[in-house]
Amino acid sequence: MDHVEVRRRTYHDSVRLMQASAAVQKVPGVEVALIAMATDLNLGLLEDLHFDVPGDTTPDDMLIALRVAGGDVVAGALAALDAALVAAPASDGGMTAAPPPHLLSSAARGADLNLGLISVPGPHAFVEAADALRSGLNVMIFSDNVPVGQEVALKRLGVELDLLVMGPDCGTAIVGGVGLGFANAVKPGPVGIVGASGTGTQHISCLLDDAGVGISHALGTGSRDLSTDVGALATLQGLAALDEDPATEVIVIVSKPPAPEIAARVREAAAACTTPTVMCLIGEETLEDGAAAALAALGREAAPARSWEAPDAGHRPGTVKGLFSGGTLRDEARMVLAGLMGAEAAAGLEMIDFGDDEYTRGRPHPMIDQRLRLEHLGATAADPSFGVALLDVVLGYGSHADPASELAPVIEKATEAGLAVVVSLCGAAGDPQGRDLQAELLNEAGAAVFLSNAAAARHAHALAEGGAA
Amino acid sequence: MLAPPVMPAAVSVALATIVEGAPQRGTVLGASGPAVWVDIGGTVLVATAPGAVRLPNGVAAASSEAAAAFASIAPDDPATAGGGALLFETVRLRAARWFDPRPALPRCSAGYVAGRLALLAGEVEPRADHGLAAAIARHDDGAAFEAASRSIGSGDGLTPAGDDLVAGTVAAALLVARSSGAGGIAAAVGRLEGPLMDHAAGATTSFSAALLRHAFRGEVAEPAAALLAALCGRGDPVAAARVLQAVGHSSGPALAAGVVAGAGAVVERSA
Amino acid sequence: MSRLERLLTGEPRVATAGIDLLAEGVEAQGAAVTRTEWHPPLEGTEDALAAITAAVDLRAANEEAVGRLVGTHPHWTGMAVAREVMEMGERTFLHAGPPLQWDDCSGPMRGALVGAMLYEGLAATPEEAIALGPEIELSPCHHHRAVGPMAGVISPSMPVSVIEDAAGDGVSYATLNEGLGKVLRYGAFAPEVIERLKWIETVLGPVLADVLARGGPIDLRSIIGQALQMGDDGHNRNRAATSLLLRQLAPPLIGGEGPHRDEVFRFVEGNDHFMLNLVMAAGKIGVDAASGVPGSSMVTAMARNGTEFGIRLSGTGDAWFTAPAPVVDGLYLGAFTAEDANADIGDSAITETVGLGGFAMAASPAIVGFVGGTASGAVQRTLAMYEITLAEHPDYKVPILESRGTPTGIDAARVVRTGVLPVINTGIAGKEPGVGMVGAGIVEAPVACFTQAVQALAEEVARA
């Protein structure tokens, strides 16, 4: 007979549940025991074992499923389970365990830490970051809405203390192989990146990953670092640090084009480096060009990045519409299109950045929550004036766990309606979402998928022009 | 019965082809505390829980639950590597990121390394190496093989101290020679690899032989990498030597002695 | 290796403040991460904190202040008469806490002042004393290098202990503890109270002066450090410290000439709180040494006058930041209830200010039942105080925390940033004069003191 029980809002870690399952299995008369949290995976397991699957569970509930020789076994099995669950509770360090720290400077006391990752609301970031710096931590400030004067003060303090201030508004960094914020699972390698643009950094690191070249470190600087106000303080510091870093053989600086005097200062510093340095100014050149220049500096030739092209199902005529989750790739796509169709025509295209404040107020970032973008894609499919939808999908740590599964059905409908869909897929082979799996899902749904954003834009243009890509 | 828990792990890039390749079955060779070592198609991989030293063939889990999951793994249990993971019956280690076990050393002169080595006098106790370092320095292949093969397998445990000494020597000689631009050493070490690995196959544990093979590629345990970096100017050599010598029972001191001897061979060659 | 080089060598060791998603992202990569429980700062302090952070190196200023605090080595060197060592006129009465007007005095404070007027002979009856009340000069002990428990009243004729800093030139004063029962510090002014004060003036003071002259000075820091190893918290429990003190007083006391030596021995032996006033004065030397560091947000006084709770900061000089004194939520003796309790009173929170009392509660499981708590709760209280303090005391150590130094030097900036308030172990005075102690408990310093103090510091650094 079967006994299935749900214990509401009861949590035990998986190892403990495994140990408990093992204990229950040993009770004579127990044929099958599944003790697990009611996750979809475990509910599926339950179904596979032909148990009646209880409805209305959440992953916070604990499932107990027993197949026993007779009803009299159940009580003993449950007793064994309860004993196993209370036995040797996970140690909390006892009564002398310290409570969790509230401040980074408290966390740093007596602990061997070297980086504070700050995402507190912008108005509070300055105090937290300055305190962390004075406690000897480098900082990455994910927060935005930090006044520029505070940014300058923090970066000057960083220079004074020989500590790096990444940010504010720094979304991406890779330090010593660990991605911080939005970052891709790229391998260690010879290229160091100093990036004022998080997405730009991600994209270049993924293009290099596709070429089999890894990253030593990717240091974020925050979007305003190359402004006249900030004067590239973090960029120059990061550049010098990477120049000293023995693992870094080529340095790439990724930024939107800065003010001329700042650009000159950075170029001067780059020229003084003993490590070859490549500047990739998004808007003047493509990220693809930046990655190619880095490869050239390593003595390697760049091949076109991987793509998954869709069979031309005979899409309808119409213009390109851009549906991007970030400004960097959107702007780059527009630049590529301007090069192909003229600046004026490209400026007339509707190219939305769903990461803009206008769209993120009161909702998560589109790299995490795609609903609004999906709605717009549906609407684009329904509007016959558009022939091609061009969108980006960013994978890696911090991003949506499975964006393709949500996009694929909408893409399928859109392509059936005659809209061509082109996806710029920013991802590394080792990303937790499974880059190739994501690409294949999108491709099977009818989208052409490109690892290079510029290539995706070129393809979108070619489709809109009615020619082959 | 229950899907094993998935834990993220940092994986050595030296294992990339195996861990990222098509799944291959293998066998658990041994397990001890925070480490489980497995043979997958002739390559030895080591899964470690937090607190263990990061090894050149390491799959390092950071989860505090890893040690408990490893506790139930026994020799001869099945294991599978591939598809971005290392799987045991009780735990699945997903390659979440990668580390390079070969330290990137700053460029520096042999004279500079000599000065740094002088700081370690009295800190790292030299070990009798049967003339291995000296033989490498004078490119005497026969004497190098003779010396190294006498060391291999001498000592107790999973990685006999003699093996650690040789591993430290060859890795340091290779890496410091590259960093200081000393010619000939890498080739001499390269010529030693084939015969010595053939010899090691019968003379020591497969786990230790695997680490030796990595050493011939300049791939070393993390604290040894730190000592090598410090010898070339990045970090404090005395502090790094102390950390390395605190590793394991006999491994750390033997590895440190090997690193010092190997770096010394480069200095001698360049003198 | 430079600090930045270290970041790029090996794996980053990350702590996070803010959204959990970022910590999860690091963990998902099999890397360790330390999470903080970050909260926004207390309301109204955000701009002040930013202004202070921008204007000064707060960490350096506070390190200077706390360094001075823990660098003092208080010794009990002798006895003096209050009027001879402190600036006070015939009608000056010192009291606990921040400045106070006669009309605002609570019951125990008024009772103590009445008793002191009777003791000084300024009034013959309590009624006369009350009538005289508005005419006397009231001044906080803290303004005179002194501290006093409960009402803390010091009148000109009282003998005071003289504490001197062996490591500097600091000096502080405190009255001799009268014991429990009907005592002036709880506002009692009955004839036996005045008689005991006279005995202290004529017998206890002079005998101790003689004892110290022959057997002193007595190293208070050493005694306090040892007493923490023996279950004292230095505020509500001073049994071990008093015993240790008596061991040092005994040989010169026994070996001396003259009468009353047995009385003095029995008086000290019979009063577990005898050491409290000396612990407080030892603390006063520390906070006075630490005051006046520009930009420092370290608290140099926490004191209550029975009506208001006040704090001072090192970087804001003599200014007090006050709020109504809270009523202590505690355990009551016998039939007393919270109805009988006066608002929090006394300078004894100087002990918490220097890392003792509630901050050292983990060292004092014996006090736990008295103030209404559990042993594990006491340990957790001490641990929580590390978050808002600047240093661990080098000599005051907590055995159960592997002899970690007590959390010392309260940082008002950290208080407003975390919302963690200093905890104080305290006795509760009855609100009727002379009732004495009605209970004991734990009280948190009022939030408003800290928000005002941080705002004032921001103004101060902007001026500088």
**Contact yes or no for C23 and A217 at CB 8 A:** no
Q: Choose between B184 and A41: higher pLDDT.
A: B184
For A153, the closest chain C residue by CA position comes to C54
For A243, the closest chain B residue by CA position comes to B106
**Using a CB-CB distance cutoff of 8 angstroms, which residues of chain C are in contact with residue A117?**
14-18, 22-23, 26
Domains in chain A: boundaries:
2-86, 105-297, 307-465
Measured CA to CA, the distance from residue A429 to residue A386 in angstroms comes to 32
Q: Determine the Cα angle at C225 with ends C219 and C231, to 5°.
A: 130
**Contact yes or no for B50 and C32 at CB 8 A:** yes
Class at the top of the CATH hierarchy for domain C59-69+292-463: alpha beta
Question: Could you report the per-residue pLDDT of C16-65, keeping only the tens digit for each?
Answer: 999 998 999 999 998 989 999 999 999 999 999 999 999 999 999 999 99
Residue A353: per-residue pLDDT: 94
| Res. A78: pLDDT tops 90 | no
Q: What percent of chain C has pLDDT over 70?
A: 100
| Chosen from A11, A14, A242 to mutate, greatest number of chain B CBs within 10 A | A14
Residue A16 pLDDT grade (very low, low, confident, very high; cuts 50, 70, 90): low
Average pLDDT value for residue range C422-435: 89
Q: pTM of the full predicted structure? A: 0.87
Average pLDDT value for residue range A408-433: 96
For A98, the closest chain C residue by CA position comes to C383
Q: Choose between B2 and C225: higher pLDDT.
A: C225
Choose the closest CB to B105 out of A17, A42, A246. A246
Question: Could you report the per-residue pLDDT of B155-199, keeping only the tens digit for each?
Answer: 877 889 999 999 999 999 999 999 998 878 999 999 999 999 999
Q: CB C219: neighbour CB atoms within 10 A?
A: 16
| Res. A87: pLDDT tops 70 | no
Average pLDDT value for residue range A267-285: 94
**Using a CB-CB distance cutoff of 8 angstroms, which residues of chain C are in contact with residue B234?**
1, 5, 9
Assign domain A105-297 one CATH number from 3.40.50.261, 3.40.50.2300, 3.90.660.10, 3.30.420.40.
Answer: 3.40.50.261
Measured CA to CA, the distance from residue C420 to residue C435 in angstroms comes to 33
| Res. B2: pLDDT tops 70 | no
Residue B248 pLDDT grade (very low, low, confident, very high; cuts 50, 70, 90): confident
**Contact yes or no for B1 and A188 at CB 8 A:** no
Measured CA to CA, the distance from residue C395 to residue C403 in angstroms comes to 10
Q: How far is C27 from chain B (nearest CA, A)?
A: 8
CATH of domain A2-86: 3.30.70
Question: Could you report the per-residue pLDDT of A168-177, keeping only the tens digit for each?
Answer: 999 999 999 9
Q: Do C129 and C122 touch, CB atoms closer than 8 A?
A: yes
Residue B64 pLDDT grade (very low, low, confident, very high; cuts 50, 70, 90): confident
| Res. A330: pLDDT tops 80 | yes
Question: Could you report the per-residue pLDDT of A382-420, keeping only the tens digit for each?
Answer: 999 999 999 999 999 999 999 999 999 999 999 999 999
Q: Do A118 and A139 touch, CB atoms closer than 8 A?
A: yes
**Using a CB-CB distance cutoff of 8 angstroms, which residues of chain A are in contact with residue C61?**
none
Q: Choose between A229 and C9: higher pLDDT.
A: A229
Q: Do C332 and C438 touch, CB atoms closer than 8 A?
A: yes
Residue A92 pLDDT grade (very low, low, confident, very high; cuts 50, 70, 90): very low
Query: Is the minimum CB–CB distance between B3 and chain A shorter than 8 Å?
Result: yes
* Range of weakest confidence among C165-174, C316-325, C326-335: C326-335
Average pLDDT value for residue range A443-455: 97
Query: Is the minimum CB–CB distance between B92 and chain C shorter than 8 Å?
Result: no
Nearest CA-CA partner of C417 in A121, A116, A124, A143: A124
> Cα dist. C389→C62, C226, C397 in Å?
10, 22, 15
Residue B227: per-residue pLDDT: 97
Measured CA to CA, the distance from residue C212 to residue A229 in angstroms comes to 66
DSSP assignment, residue B27? E
Residue A13: per-residue pLDDT: 62
Residue A89 pLDDT grade (very low, low, confident, very high; cuts 50, 70, 90): very low
Q: How far is C28 from chain B (nearest CA, A)?
A: 6
Query: Is the minimum CB–CB distance between B65 and chain A shorter than 8 Å?
Result: yes
Query: Is the minimum CB–CB distance between A307 and chain B shorter than 8 Å?
Result: no
Average pLDDT value for residue range C441-462: 96
* Range of weakest confidence among A419-428, B244-253, C171-180: B244-253
**What is the overall mean pLDDT for chain A?**
91
| Residues constituting chain A | 469
**Contact yes or no for B97 and A34 at CB 8 A:** no
Q: How far is A391 from chain B (nearest CA, A)?
A: 27
Measured CA to CA, the distance from residue B193 to residue C84 in angstroms comes to 89
Measured CA to CA, the distance from residue B223 to residue B221 in angstroms comes to 6
Q: What percent of chain B has pLDDT over 70?
A: 99
Residue A111: per-residue pLDDT: 86
Q: What percent of chain B has pLDDT over 90?
A: 83
**Using a CB-CB distance cutoff of 8 angstroms, which residues of chain C are in contact with residue B97?**
29-31
**SS3 letters for chain A?**
CEEEEEECCCCCCHHHHHHHHHHHHCCCCEEEEEEEECCHHHHHHHHHCCCCCCCCCCCCCEEEEEEECCHHHHHHHHHHHHHHHHCCCCCCCHHHCCCCCCCHHHHHCCCCCCEEEEECCHHHHHHHHHHHHHCCCEEEECCCCCCHHHHHHHHHHHHHHCCCEECCCCCEEEECCEEEECECCCCEEEEEEEECCHHHHHHHHHHHHHCCCCEEEEEECCCCCCCCCCCCHHHHHHHHHHHHCCCCCEEEEEECCCCHHHHHHHHHHHHHCCCCEEEEEECCECHHHHHHHHHHHCCCCCCCCCEECCCCCCCCCCEEEEEECCHHHHHHHHHHHHHHHCHHHHHCCEEEECCCHHHHCCCCCCCCCCHHHHHHHHHHHHCCCEEEEEEEEECCECCCCCHHHHHHHHHHHHHHCCCEEEEEEECCCCCCCCHHHHHHHHHHCCCEEECCHHHHHHHHHHHHHCCCC
**Contact yes or no for A143 and C54 at CB 8 A:** no
**Using a CB-CB distance cutoff of 8 angstroms, which residues of chain A are in contact with residue C9?**
176
Residue A469: per-residue pLDDT: 41
Average pLDDT value for residue range B256-268: 96
**Using a CB-CB distance cutoff of 8 angstroms, which residues of chain A are in contact with residue C25?**
179-181, 183, 397-398
Q: How far is A152 from chain B (nearest CA, A)?
A: 30
Average pLDDT value for residue range C262-275: 95
Residue A93: per-residue pLDDT: 57
| Res. A464: pLDDT tops 60 | yes
Query: Is the minimum CB–CB distance between B9 and chain C shorter than 8 Å?
Result: yes
Chains within contact range of chain C (3+ C-beta pairs < 8 Å): A, B
Residue A54: per-residue pLDDT: 87
Check if C59-69+292-463 and C74-279 are the same fold.
no
Q: How far is A126 from chain B (nearest CA, A)?
A: 31
| Res. C161: pLDDT tops 60 | yes
Could you tell me the two tokens for B106?
Answer: 């700053």
Residue A323: per-residue pLDDT: 97
Rounded-to-10 torsion of CA A260, A265, A267, A268: 140
Q: Choose between A24 and A204: higher pLDDT.
A: A204
**Contact yes or no for B97 and A179 at CB 8 A:** yes
For C4, the closest chain A residue by CA position comes to A163
Check if A105-297 and A307-465 are the same fold.
yes
Average pLDDT value for residue range C355-369: 91
Residue A25: per-residue pLDDT: 81
Residue A91: per-residue pLDDT: 37
Residue C372: per-residue pLDDT: 67
Query: Is the minimum CB–CB distance between B229 and chain A shorter than 8 Å?
Result: yes
Q: CB B115: neighbour CB atoms within 10 A?
A: 15
Average pLDDT value for residue range A60-86: 82
Could you tell me the two tokens for C35?
Answer: 């999470």
**What is the SS3 assignment for C81?**
strand
Q: Is the dihedral of CA C283, C288, C289, C290 positive or negative?
A: positive
Nearest CA-CA partner of C304 in C93, C94, C97: C97
| Chosen from B54, B91, B97 to mutate, greatest number of chain C CBs within 10 A | B97
Chains within contact range of chain A (3+ C-beta pairs < 8 Å): B, C
Question: Could you report the per-residue pLDDT of B75-134, keeping only the tens digit for each?
Answer: 999 999 999 999 999 999 999 999 999 999 999 999 999 999 999 998 999 999 999 999
Using a 10 angstrom Cβ sphere, with 0-12 exposed, 13-18 middle and 19 or more buried, the burial of residue B271 is exposed
Measured CA to CA, the distance from residue C282 to residue C275 in angstroms comes to 10
What one-letter code names the amino acid at A22? A
Residue A88 pLDDT grade (very low, low, confident, very high; cuts 50, 70, 90): very low
Question: Could you report the per-residue pLDDT of C99-129, keeping only the tens digit for each?
Answer: 999 999 999 999 999 999 999 999 999 999 9
Assign domain C74-279 one CATH number from 3.20.19.10, 3.40.50.2300, 3.90.1710.10, 1.10.340.30.
Answer: 3.90.1710.10
Cis peptide before A168 (omega within 30 of 0): yes
Domains and CATH numbers, chain B: 6-99 (2.30.30), 110-270 (no CATH)
**What is the overall mean pLDDT for chain B?**
93
Domains in chain C: boundaries:
14-43, 59-69+292-463, 74-279
| Longest pairwise C-alpha distance within chain A | 84
Class at the top of the CATH hierarchy for domain A307-465: alpha beta
Q: How far is C34 from chain A (nearest CA, A)?
A: 7
Residue A9: per-residue pLDDT: 65
Burial annotation C67-97 (CB, 10 A radius, 16+ → b, else e): ebbbebbbbbbbbbebbebbebeeebbbbbb
Q: Say if strands A307-308 and A448-450 run parallel, antiparallel, or are unpaired.
A: antiparallel
Measured CA to CA, the distance from residue C300 to residue C69 in angstroms comes to 9
Measured CA to CA, the distance from residue A177 to residue B10 in angstroms comes to 9
